[in-house]
Amino acid sequence: MIIIAESGATKTDWCLIDNGRNILKKNTEGIHPFFSEEQKAVDLLKANFDEYAAKECRQVHFYGPGTSQTPAAQKVAGWLKQFFTLAAVEVSTDLLAAGRGAFGYESGMVCIMGTGSNSGLYMNSEIVQTIPSLGYIFGDEGSGAHIGKQLLYDYLNDRCPDIVAGLFNDECRAGGKSLYNSLP
């Protein structure tokens, strides 16, 4: 059994593959080397995977944010090995997952635009160049955090189109119904 996981800051998508067949897809909270705690990450695995998966899994390929630096990748690998004790564990960046998914053995520019954003040049099955991120406070242009911050800035400075400000006001009064359901 092989597990492939792609994690972001907020969620992780897991895929269990046995004999070349996808046997399970699962979504959990995100696992991040800088924001997650070891015990919480191990408990998340225990709560979402049974002992069969823990004992039968031989490979775990985990792709996540913040893992381009070796100590961070080793930290996440250690958490995974506490549960998947017999598996070989590979921890790589989420950008590498995007490159492998988009280009396989070809080359190209790959971008992630989720809660955070990142981009890089994918060649020879590796990310060979990236633009260093300044994080969600100073950078991450195009990310959900950046777009949300810009929306709030424009709203608070009365720079939003009337329809957007109206939808935002309605959303705040409604207590969390999706804005997307209200868009024309």
Q: Which domains does the chain have, with CATH numbers?
A: 2-103 (3.30.420.40), 143-181 (no CATH)
pLDDT for 136 equals 65
Once rounded to an integer, what is the mean pLDDT over residues 51-70? 90
Question: Of the ranges 74-83, 155-164, 168-177, which one carries the lowest mean pLDDT score?
Answer: 168-177
Calpha distance 32→41 (Å, rounded) = 9
**Do 119 and 109 touch, CB atoms closer than 8 A?**
yes
Averaged pLDDT for residues 23-48? 92
- For the whole model, what pTM was predicted? 0.75
Angle, helices 162-174 vs 144-156, to 10°: value is 100
Length of the chain as a residue count:
184
Which residues, at least 6 apart from 48, have a Cβ–Cβ distance to it below 8 Å?
Answer: 14, 26, 28
What pLDDT is stored for residue 14 in this prediction? 96
Of the candidates 59, 63, 60, the one whose C-alpha atom is nearest the C-alpha of residue 110 is 63
- Band (pLDDT 50/70/90 cuts) for residue 178 is low
Q: What is the pLDDT of residue 177?
A: 53
Q: Which residue has the tokens 């699962």?
A: 26
The pLDDT, as a whole number, for residue 176 is 57
Give 101-146 pLDDT, tens digit per residue: 999 999 999 988 877 788 899 999 999 998 877 766 677 777 877 8
In this predicted structure, the answer to whether residue 65 has a pLDDT above a threshold of 60 is yes
Of the chain, the percentage scoring pLDDT greater than 90 comes to 55
Query: Is the separation of the CB atoms in 80 and 90 below 8 Å?
Result: no
User: CB within 8 A of 125, min separation 6: which ones?
Assistant: 99, 100, 105
Report how far Cα 95 is from the mean position of its chain's Cα atoms: 9
Max Cα distance, the chain (Å): 58
Question: What values do phi and psi take at 90, rounded to 5?
Answer: -115, 125
**C-alpha distance across the termini of the chain, in Å:** 46
